[in-house]
Chains A and B, each alone.
Chain A
Amino acid sequence: MTENTEATGGPERRVRVVLVDDHRMFRTGVQAEIGRTEETGVEVVGEAADVEQAVTVITATRPEVVLLDVHLPGGGGVEVLRRCAPMMGAVENPVRFLALSVSDAAEDVIGVIRGGARGYVTKTITGTDLVDSVFRVQDGDAVFSPRLAGFVLDAFASTDAPPVDEDLDRLTQREREVLRLIARGYAYKEIAKQLFISVKTVESHVSAVLRKLQLSNRHELTRWATARRLV
């Protein structure tokens, strides 16, 4: 995820963002890093510190992207996703969520992804990469950090139970390859070069994986990840 902003939009594009995080200092930091609208094209239109506030602010401002913390007072990121589900599914101006968490625990991460978030990045991410991820989510693409790719590979690899829905519960060879390269720290452009495919194809593979993750019939996915506590 090191593509520069010019490639995906740059300042001539605008994206309206709401920050949801219960740590004021972290919100201030993110605001300072990505909120310089003239340079980054990101406009922070609202902030929230808990589930109630988040739902109110998101409903009022209708941003394009919400940066959502996983741990929040009042039920966590999953609860925000549940209550904003109608806005996520809207045909006109859908609200898209990008999970931004300090948590290392697989069940937190997989929980918000299954709740409908379009991706997950850790809080160690650089400002440039974060802006890039926000634009990618605005486009409807999925954003996988190396860590999330690792979780997903693990979750889809080692379940003994036969899949309920073959198409959903299995990753194709190509999807596995793409995920593995993400887990190894490759950017989409580098993956495309490595596999001799276009960046667009990489994006569609990643989106397919995200869909499978969200729709997968395997109820045990989250439970399994919880039990393993894979980090």
Chain B
Amino acid sequence: MPAATTRAPGPHAPDQEEPAPRKLYRSADGRMLGGVARGLAGHLGLPVAWVRFVFLGLFFADGLGALLYAVFWIVVPLGVGGVETTRSVFETAPDGRRRLRKPDKGQVFALIALLVGAVVFVGNVDMGSKTDRYVWPALLIGAGSVLVWRQADNARRARWIEVGRRRRVLHLARGLAGVALVGLGLAVFLVVRGSAAQLGNALTAAVAVLTGIALLAGPYLARMMQDLSEERLMRIRAQERAEVAAHVHDSVLHTLTLIQRNADDAGEVRRLARAQERELRNWLYDPSGTGRDEDDEPTNLADAVKRAAAEVEDKHGVPLEVVVVGDCPLDEKLTAQMQAAREAMVNAAKYGGEGGAVQVYAEVEGRTVFVSVRDRGPGFDLDAVPDDRMGVRESIIGRMQRNGGTARLRSVPGGGTEVELEMERASE
């Protein structure tokens, strides 16, 4: 199995990462039955094919291999460390299309080996003799148990990997098949050992015993399951809370340290405090704000306005109070409006920031998007601004007009400045 050797979990990985005594785990990935061979191979640092051959060889020594394998399967826990990721049936071609993965040479070889082994085994067993009546039921029960055990493993695995609906149906079918096989094997045992006439009695007794056990243990088991899932939920919640607390405490500590270091610089202290306040607000009051990546480009108006205001606030150290009414997705025209609004915010923060917080108001009403940026600074006379100063004329008024919107600028010397931007949304 040359192909299999290349896929064997490299012993170097756990060696480097955890010098602590390694624990033996069964491998959940790339396994054929219970993952015992792969787990052992990873643990011992041997090619997985060798381990499999040893098991196969021991199997012929009166089935010792199978017994050993079963014991390992039951005792050794399933692990995920030290093995490569699951391979899907499909693989992604270099050109981006998905295609059926080519069958693995090693697996095909293993399958053939198994078949040959089975044929040899069947040939060795004297089909006609009396022992036969024990061999077949035992095989059936064995196969059924293997299926059910493998199923239990998968259920445990589902905690790590979300299983799709289709695969869940498959799992259920496999579990049922396992149970059916075990049942069939037991039935054959009964029939072969006793006579067919006693089957009815035996079955009735079995059903009665099972019902009794279910009645006695059922409620207790159900309660245990409930407690278990409840406990799991609590643990997840606690973990989430701990994560939030850790994040918040961390950033608060960070900010406090920075504030101590910049205690003389009032502007910097204010900027830090505002940035921290904004972040905390996002965590506390905005559920979507918790996991949001700061690098993501905003896709709707409300986010864009808040983002622009936050950036201007951080850069110029002037608080901006943002009120947004309604929301809509950003289109090309609105993006231009946002750029103009941002320019207006920068101007307001730069020239009007002494008069207190800058008020930013955005409203979506039907197809019209209105943004107003207002400061309480000294104000200025637009006509007195020389023609070569492009800030207001080009970045705000010009940009709005080029995109089919309007910009109004109202400034009273001594009474602050207000920029009003109005834009129709692009038709959908």
Give the B-binding residues of A (Cβ under 8 A).
103-105, 124, 146-147, 149-150, 153-154, 157-158, 180, 183-185, 229-231
Given A146-B321, A146-B323, A183-B325, residue A153 in contact with residue B363 (CB < 8 A): yes
A104→B286 CA distance, assembly (Å) = 9
Best-surrounded residue of A105, A124, A147, A154 (most CB of chain B within 10 A): A154
- 0/1 per residue, B407-423, Cβ < 8 Å to A? 00000000000100000
Task: Give chain B interface residues in 245-286, CB to chain A under 8 Å.
Answer: 281, 284-286
Task: Give chain B interface residues in 351-376, CB to chain A under 8 Å.
Answer: 357, 359, 361, 363, 365, 372, 374
- Name the residue of chain B whose CB is nearest to the CB of A154: B325
CB of A154 within 8 A of CB of B326, answer: yes
- Name the residue of chain B whose CB is nearest to the CB of A152: B325
Given A184-B372, A185-B374, A231-B285, residue A157 in contact with residue B326 (CB < 8 A): yes
Q: How far is the CB of A169 from chain B (nearest CB, A)?
A: 18
CB of B372 within 8 A of CB of A158, answer: no
Residues from chain B with Cβ under 8 Å of A149 in the complex? 323
CB of B374 within 8 A of CB of A150, answer: no
Residues from chain A with Cβ under 8 Å of B321 in the complex? 146-147, 185
Q: Sorted from nearest, which 3 A-B pairs have the closest CB atoms?
A: A185-B359, A150-B323, A184-B361
- Name the residue of chain B whose CB is nearest to the CB of A179: B325
A182→B324 CA distance, assembly (Å) = 13
Q: How far is the CB of B325 from chain A (nearest CB, A)?
A: 5
A sample of 19 more A-B contacts (CB under 8 A), given A184-B374, A231-B281, is A104-B284, A147-B321, A149-B323, A150-B323, A154-B325, A154-B326, A157-B325, A157-B326, A183-B325, A183-B361, A184-B323, A184-B359, A184-B418, A185-B321, A185-B357, A229-B285, A229-B287, A231-B285, A231-B286
A149→B372 CA distance, assembly (Å) = 15
Residues from chain B with Cβ under 8 Å of A185 in the complex? 321, 357, 359, 361, 374
Q: How far is the CB of B391 from chain A (nearest CB, A)?
A: 22
Given A157-B365, A185-B361, A185-B374, residue A150 in contact with residue B285 (CB < 8 A): no
Q: Of A147, A180, A229, A231, which one neighbours B363 at CB under 8 angstroms?
A: A180
Given A184-B374, A185-B321, A229-B286, residue A158 in contact with residue B326 (CB < 8 A): yes
Q: How far is the CB of B329 from chain A (nearest CB, A)?
A: 15
Could you pull out 11 A-B pairs where Cβ atoms are within 8 angstroms? A104-B286, A124-B319, A146-B321, A157-B325, A157-B326, A180-B361, A183-B323, A184-B323, A184-B361, A185-B374, A230-B324
- 0/1 per residue, B305-323, Cβ < 8 Å to A? 0000000000000010101
Given A105-B285, A229-B286, A231-B286, residue A147 in contact with residue B326 (CB < 8 A): no
- Name the residue of chain A whose CB is nearest to the CB of B319: A124
Q: Total number of A-B contacts with CB less than 8 angstroms?
A: 51
Q: How far is the CB of B296 from chain A (nearest CB, A)?
A: 18
A195→B287 CA distance, assembly (Å) = 38
Q: How far is the CB of B284 from chain A (nearest CB, A)?
A: 8
- Name the residue of chain A whose CB is nearest to the CB of B374: A185
Q: How far is the CB of A181 from chain B (nearest CB, A)?
A: 9
- Name the residue of chain B whose CB is nearest to the CB of A185: B359
A103→B323 CA distance, assembly (Å) = 14
Residues from chain B with Cβ under 8 Å of A231 in the complex? 281, 285-286, 324
A184→B365 CA distance, assembly (Å) = 15
CB of B287 within 8 A of CB of A150, answer: no
Residues from chain A with Cβ under 8 Å of B372 in the complex? 184
Residues from chain B with Cβ under 8 Å of A158 in the complex? 326
Q: How far is the CB of B407 from chain A (nearest CB, A)?
A: 16
Best-surrounded residue of B319, B361, B365, B374 (most CB of chain A within 10 A): B361
- Name the residue of chain A whose CB is nearest to the CB of B288: A229
A230→B322 CA distance, assembly (Å) = 12
Q: How far is the CB of A154 from chain B (nearest CB, A)?
A: 5
A103→B281 CA distance, assembly (Å) = 8
A230→B324 CA distance, assembly (Å) = 8
A124→B374 CA distance, assembly (Å) = 18
- Name the residue of chain B whose CB is nearest to the CB of A146: B323
A180→B325 CA distance, assembly (Å) = 10
A146→B376 CA distance, assembly (Å) = 15
- Name the residue of chain B whose CB is nearest to the CB of A183: B323
CB of B361 within 8 A of CB of A104, answer: no
Q: How far is the CB of A101 from chain B (nearest CB, A)?
A: 11
A154→B364 CA distance, assembly (Å) = 10
A231→B309 CA distance, assembly (Å) = 14
Residues from chain A with Cβ under 8 Å of B286 in the complex? 104, 229, 231
Task: Give chain B interface residues in 334-362, CB to chain A under 8 Å.
Answer: 357, 359, 361
- Name the residue of chain B whose CB is nearest to the CB of A105: B285
CB of B285 within 8 A of CB of A104, answer: yes
Task: Give chain B interface residues in 187-224, CB to chain A under 8 Å.
Answer: none
A124→B270 CA distance, assembly (Å) = 13
A134→B123 CA distance, assembly (Å) = 99
Residues from chain B with Cβ under 8 Å of A105 in the complex? 285
CB of B359 within 8 A of CB of A150, answer: no
CB of A150 within 8 A of CB of B325, answer: yes
CB of A104 within 8 A of CB of B281, answer: yes
Q: How far is the CB of B168 from chain A (nearest CB, A)?
A: 32
Residues from chain B with Cβ under 8 Å of A184 in the complex? 323, 359, 361, 372, 374, 418
Q: How far is the CB of B282 from chain A (nearest CB, A)?
A: 9
A180→B27 CA distance, assembly (Å) = 64
Best-surrounded residue of A103, A147, A183 (most CB of chain B within 10 A): A183
- Name the residue of chain A whose CB is nearest to the CB of B358: A185
Best-surrounded residue of B284, B323, B326 (most CB of chain A within 10 A): B323
CB of A146 within 8 A of CB of B359, answer: yes
Residues from chain A with Cβ under 8 Å of B287 in the complex? 229
Residues from chain A with Cβ under 8 Å of B359 in the complex? 146, 184-185
- Name the residue of chain B whose CB is nearest to the CB of A228: B327
